[in-house]
């Protein structure tokens, strides 16, 4: 700030978050502001880069201060806002955790406290970081979406729903006791300092799980480089600070992107290639993945209290990975003067360069079989690396066979026996005291097995989606033109016919043999087996092409 000028203070809530750190740096570099960084941690801990950067210098010169504040505690929020002119409200829980109570308490109740504190402390301007997901219903893709789009009746997840409720509160608060507000909706933020997307992508690549594309791979997205997001917030604040701008931007919401739509899986491929990994190539249909994702989500709900990590495969994420999501920045350009300051190509380059520790090793000694199995204990067991664990698994599977299938039980009888064992376990578990020899016994409440209305809707949507896909295939067959599709259907039904002709015992034996010995054999002779399969696949394609051509002539 220029000499002799009074200090102007602003607050950044969630100031230690990914995008918020970049905003704090940009505000400090502008020399227009002193910044109060508000976050949950009791004290601030700087990274080496921050220590020698603008934030470290500002903390030492008192141009920046750190305030520990929980948005759910109004008194703490008021204390953090005292004497400030502007609030950038960026705090929000992790969007990947589908926990409605957590999201509501921060995104809605916390935002109410932020608005009330702004009014009480006579804050002049409030800029709220919203999300494009507030207009996404989890079903229909969005092409060049505009701010006139209404909020949906059904949201993709609890994060989107509560962010929409928070946005409504901020829009409604515009003009309250002189407070001016507006909302920024940045689409799919990426850049240096991201602790979610890039690290997760690199971890999946190292485990051999990044070779899959969910859907057909043609869905288009709008990504936003993190510095552009920070700049959009500053554009909004500067606009609200003028009388003319306040009339235009007050109580408005703005989509913010890099204005360079790109195929979602192409963007992911560019990051993976930049880090030294292979592009994803195997396409998995959404109709195949959605039931699995529902099962994973239900399992997490059941076992999260026992320390199960948050799964990456959830229904809401599957929908996000396979749909189109592009948004227009025209309103932001016209009303707050926003235009991207960092192009997508440059942003990708800066992002990749900021993660040298996540780059692929030059020599990869992990076998394909281990990669397919995801590494870890499962791979060690099925590839006989841990022989004790492998023998234990084999004995367990043999015991299950003789207990359930050896006596010639039908599928229904076998399931009944499994359910009886589960019921007995639950009864004994419920009868146990809460502590045994000092060990705490976690009880399973009946609510764990309840299916909420929202979950029931999602299951119904998944079932209807699968059904509609099947009907779509049937329609194509009825036209009598798609011989390639007919060929696939015949092969599928033939395989189903062979499986149906086998007894339950035979299917179980074959399944166990393939599981416990197939991967081991593949690891030993993977090059030879790959060659055989590739040759057979090529020969099959030639036969299919010839057959299709002959049938098309008739």
- Is residue 159 over pLDDT 80? yes
| Range of lowest pLDDT (69-73, 109-113, 516-520) | 516-520
The domain spans of the chain are 9-358
pLDDT of residue 373: 64
Q: Is the pLDDT of residue 271 over 80?
A: yes
Top-confidence residue, 383 or 114? 114
pLDDT for 363: 45
Across 89-98, average pLDDT: 87
How does residue 553 score in pLDDT terms, banded at 50, 70 and 90?
Answer: low
| Predicted pLDDT of residue 305 | 63
On the question of pLDDT at 220 being above 90, the answer is yes
**What is the mean predicted confidence (pLDDT) over 3-10?**
76
What local confidence, expressed as pLDDT, does residue 406 receive? 66
pLDDT at 88 > cutoff 70: yes
pLDDT at residue 552 is higher than 70: no
pLDDT reported for residue 15? 96
Cα–Cα dist 253/182, whole Å: 6
- Lowest mean pLDDT segment, chosen from 11-15, 60-64, 342-346, 363-367: 363-367
What is the rounded average pLDDT of the residues 385-389? 78
152-156, 262-266, 319-323, 442-446 — most confident range: 262-266
Predicted confidence (pLDDT) at residue 237 exceeds the cutoff of 60: yes
* pLDDT for 399: 76
Nearest-5° angle of CA 470, CA 475, CA 480?
A: 125
Exposure b/e, 280-310, CB count within 10 A at least 16 = b: beeeeebbebbeebbeebeebbeeeeeeeee
Query: For 144-204, what is the HEC assignment?
Result: EECCCCCCCCCCCCHHHHHHHHHHHHHHHHCCHHHCEEEEEEECCEECCCCCCHHHHHHHH
3 has pLDDT over 60? no
d(Cα 88, Cα 202) in Å, to the nearest integer? 31
pLDDT of residue 417: 74
Strands, E, within 220-333: which ranges? 220-221, 224-225, 252-256, 262-263, 282-284, 325-327
**What is the per-residue pLDDT for 364?**
45
Query: How far is the C-alpha of 245 from the C-alpha of 256, rounded, in Å?
Result: 18
- Percent above pLDDT 70 for the chain: 82
Mean pLDDT is lowest, of 196-205, 398-407, 454-463, for: 454-463
Whether the predicted pLDDT of 114 surpasses 80: yes
For the stretch 482-525, pLDDT in tens is: 666 677 777 777 877 776 777 667 777 787 787 777 777 777 77
Tell me the pLDDT band of 298, cut-offs 50, 70 and 90: confident
Q: How far is the C-alpha of 259 from the C-alpha of 330, rounded, in Å?
A: 9
The predicted structure's pLDDT at residue 520: 76
Q: Is the predicted pLDDT of residue 465 greater than 70, yes or no? A: no
pLDDT score of 223 more than 90: yes
pLDDT at 138: 84
Q: Which of the two residues, 11 and 516, has the higher pLDDT score?
A: 11
Between 416 and 446, name the one with better pLDDT.
416
Q: Which residues are catalytic?
A: 163
- Region 363-375: what's the mean pLDDT? 61
Q: What does the pLDDT read at residue 180?
A: 98
Q: Which residues, including other chains, have CB under 8 Å from residue 296's CB and lie 6 or more apart?
A: 311, 313, 314
Top-confidence residue, 485 or 428: 428
Is the pLDDT score of 84 beyond 70? yes
CATH architecture designation of domain 9-358: 3-Layer(aba) Sandwich (3.40)
Q: What's the pLDDT at 310?
A: 63
Q: Report which of residues 534 and 145 the model is more confident about.
A: 145
pLDDT for 352 beyond 60: yes
Place 55 in a pLDDT band, splitting at 50, 70 and 90.
very high
Mean pLDDT computed over every residue of the chain? 85
Which strand ranges, in their side-by-side order, compose the sheet holding 86-89?
A: 64-68, 34-39, 9-13, 86-89, 125-129, 180-186, 252-256
Instruction: Please list the residues that pair with 189 across neighbouring strands.
Output: 224
pLDDT in tens, 238-249: 999 999 999 999
| 306 pLDDT more than 70 | no
The mean per-residue pLDDT over the stretch 225-237 comes to 98
Q: What pLDDT, on the 0 to 100 scale, is given for residue 260?
A: 96
| Confidence tier at 475 by pLDDT (50, 70, 90) | confident
Q: What average pLDDT does this structure show over 224-234?
A: 98
Least confident of 76-80, 149-153, 290-294: 290-294
Nearest to 323 by CA among 333, 313, 332, 315: 315
Mean pLDDT of 338-349: 97
How far apart, in whole angstroms, are the C-alpha atoms of residue 93 and residue 72? 12
User: With contact defined as beta carbons under 8 Å apart, do 21 and 193 qualify?
Assistant: yes
At 89, the pLDDT band (50, 70, 90 cuts) reads very high
């Amino acid at each position: 700030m220029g000499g002799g000028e009074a200090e102007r203070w602003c607050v950044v809530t969630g100031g230690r978050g990914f995008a918020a750190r970049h905003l704090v740096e940009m505000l400090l570099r502008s020399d227009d502001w002193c910044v109060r960084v508000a976050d949950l941690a009791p004290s601030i801990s700087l990274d080496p880069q921050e220590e020698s950067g603008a934030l470290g210098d500002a903390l030492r010169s008192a141009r920046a201060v750190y305030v520990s504040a929980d948005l759910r505690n109004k008194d703490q929020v008021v204390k953090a806002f005292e004497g400030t002119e502007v609030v950038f409200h960026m705090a929000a829980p992790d969007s990947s955790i589908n926990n409605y109570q957590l999201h509501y308490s921060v995104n809605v109740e916390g935002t109410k406290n932020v608005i009330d504190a702004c009014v009480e402390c006579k804050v002049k301007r409030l800029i709220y970081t919203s999300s494009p997901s507030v207009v996404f219903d989890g079903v229909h893709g969005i092409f060049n979406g505009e701010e006139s789009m209404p909020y949906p009746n059904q949201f993709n997840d609890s994060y989107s729903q509560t962010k929409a409720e928070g946005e409504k509160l901020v829009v409604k608060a515009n003009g309250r006791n002189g407070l001016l507000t507006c909302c920024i909706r940045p689409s799919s933020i990426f850049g240096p300092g991201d602790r979610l997307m890039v690290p997760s992508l690199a971890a999946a690549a190292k485990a051999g799980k990044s070779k899959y594309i969910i859907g057909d791979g043609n869905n288009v997205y709008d990504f936003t480089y993190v510095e552009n997001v920070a700049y959009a917030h500053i554009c909004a604040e500067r606009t609200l600070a003028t009388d003319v701008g306040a009339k235009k931007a007050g109580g408005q919401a703005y989509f913010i992107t890099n204005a360079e739509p790109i195929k979602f899986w192409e963007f992911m491929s560019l990051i993976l290639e930049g880090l030294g990994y292979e592009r994803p190539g195997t396409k998995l249909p959404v109709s195949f993945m959605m039931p699995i994702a529902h099962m994973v989500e239900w399992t997490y709900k059941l076992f999260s209290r026992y320390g199960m990590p948050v799964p990456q495969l959830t229904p809401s994420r599957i929908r996000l990975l396979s749909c189109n999501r592009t948004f227009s920045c025209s309103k932001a350009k016209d009303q707050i003067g926003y235009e991207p300051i960092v192009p997508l190509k440059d942003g990708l380059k800066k992002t990749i360069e900021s993660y040298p520790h996540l780059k692929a090793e030059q020599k990869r000694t992990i076998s394909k079989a281990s990669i397919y199995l995801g590494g870890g204990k499962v791979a060690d067991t099925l590839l006989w690396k841990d022989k004790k664990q492998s023998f234990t698994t084999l004995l367990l599977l043999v015991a299950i066979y003789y207990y359930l299938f050896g006596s010639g039980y039908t599928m229904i009888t076998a399931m009944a026996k499994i359910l009886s064992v589960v019921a007995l376990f639950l009864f004994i578990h419920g009868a146990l005291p809460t502590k045994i020899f000092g060990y705490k016994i976690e009880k399973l409440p009946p609510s764990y097995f309840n299916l909420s209305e929202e979950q029931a809707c999602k299951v119904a949507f998944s079932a209807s989606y699968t059904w509609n896909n099947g009907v779509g295939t049937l329609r194509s067959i009825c036209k009598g033109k798609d011989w390639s599709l007919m060929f696939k259907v015949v092969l599928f039904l033939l395989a189903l016919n062979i499986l149906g002709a086998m007894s339950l015992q035979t299917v179980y034996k074959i399944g166990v043999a393939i599981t416990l010995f197939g991967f081991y054999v593949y690891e030993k002779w993977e090059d030879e087996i790959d060659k055989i399969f590739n040759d057979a696949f090529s020969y099959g394609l030639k036969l299919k092409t010839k057959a299709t051509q002959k049938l098309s002539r008739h």
